[in-house]
Structure 1
Amino acid sequence: MGSKKDLVAWWLAVLLMAALIAHFSNQPFADQDLRPELSRRAWLMQRVRTLPAARFSYDGQQVDSRRDPAGFVQFWVRKGAHVFFYSLLGLLLAQALAASGLRGGARWLGAAGLLLVVAAGDEHHQLAVPGRTGRLLDVLIDLAGFGLLAGIAWLRERHFRFRS
């Protein structure tokens, strides 16, 4: 178990990151819509159109790099933000749990469990925010990003433990 100062610092970092996520999740979609600004970047829209065509459906909505390059870029920016912020929250949770005395795989599983609760609660909350949707797929994206980083961190820990 870490010092009391470390324990408080890590849990405070968790709370601050969760508050930041809640702040963004509470904003109506119209306040976060990047498409008008992206559309003004003609060079970017042209560059996207030169990429191989990509079109797919995400939860019933079409994402198409040729017909709507601004929407295509926005889709990836938003999903990237999900992965980044939830991965960071998950890593902070893992550190806070380590400072609380949890070690090894238990802290990573504990962090994943807590992250699942936060992500599911966040998506549920978004159902009440104008223009936002709550999607199970977004919860899975949040967890996948954390899973990737947690796996890398876990392998790194094992590698250094076995080398010393």
Structure 2
Amino acid sequence: MNQNKKRIIFYVVILFWLSIIFVLSSQPVSKSNALSKKITEIVINSAERAAPNSNFDFDRTNHLIRKNAHFFSYLILGILIINLMKKSKMGRFKIFIISISFCIVYAISDEFHQIFVSGRGAQIKDVLIDSAGSLMGIAIYEAISKIKKNKY
């Protein structure tokens, strides 16, 4: 596959992921919380099968799952963006700055967008969680790239 086709695929995947984040952020709080609660029930049921006498606080677990969803969705975004940027001829530092900046700006715009969604609001804490996820994704990508490079 030639470089132009690969680049188009990278853009499509990134746009798809940005769309998923946007759609999930567009859900009113009642719908978003219902989805989180379904996932929380699955997690708690699975954990209780593994450790039968555990007492899980449902609300706390649900909150942790919601915040982890932020972290991991932006971790993936960080990986996708740095992967695209690595195809450019820019230096490593510039690639890093552009990648993390893009992710942070998208996180800020996503929180701003939530101001207009029923029951939702913008939270700086979520931008920080999203940014940390992006940074971790970029770091994971770099670590794997370094391992691959040293292996070959």
Bin of the TM-score, shorter chain as denominator length: 0.7 to 0.9
Does the alignment pair 1:121 with 2:109?
yes
Residues 19-55 of structure 1: CA distance to partner in whole angstroms, max 9, x if unpaired? 11000000001012147657978x74x959945xxxx
Q: Which structure is higher in RCO with an 8 Å CA cutoff and minimum separation 6?
A: 2
The CA distance in 2 between the partners of 1:39 and 1:94, in whole Å, is: 31
Determine if contact 2:82/2:95 at 8 Å carries over to the other structure: yes
The CA distance in 2 between the partners of 1:28 and 1:151, in whole Å, is: 33
Residues 101-150 of structure 1: CA distance to partner in whole angstroms, max 9, x if unpaired? 44523222211100011000000110111111211111110111121232
**How many residue pairs align between the two structures?**
145
Determine if contact 1:28/1:132 at 8 Å carries over to the other structure: yes
Determine if contact 2:26/2:114 at 8 Å carries over to the other structure: yes
Q: Which has the higher helix share?
A: 2
Of residues 131, 134, 138, the one that matches 1:146 is: 134
TM-score by length of 1: 0.74
Greater CA drift, 151-160 or 21-30 = 151-160
RMSD (CA atoms): 2.8
Kindly provide the amino acid, as one letter, of the partner of residue 19 in structure 2: A
Determine if contact 1:11/1:93 at 8 Å carries over to the other structure: no
The CA distance in 2 between the partners of 1:79 and 1:133, in whole Å, is: 14
Does the alignment pair 1:19 with 2:19?
yes
Within-5 A mapping of 1:53-64: none
2:83: which partner in 1? 95
Determine if contact 1:7/1:100 at 8 Å carries over to the other structure: no
Kindly provide the amino acid, as one letter, of the partner of residue 79 in structure 1: K
Q: Which has the higher strand share?
A: 1
Kindly provide the amino acid, as one letter, of the partner of residue 29 in structure 2: F
Between the aligned residues of both structures, percent identity stands at 23
| Runs of 5+ unmatched residues, structure 1 | 52-64
Determine if contact 2:103/2:131 at 8 Å carries over to the other structure: yes
Does the alignment pair 1:131 with 2:113?
no
Greater CA drift, 154-163 or 75-84 = 154-163
1:108: which partner in 2? 96
TM-score by length of 2: 0.79
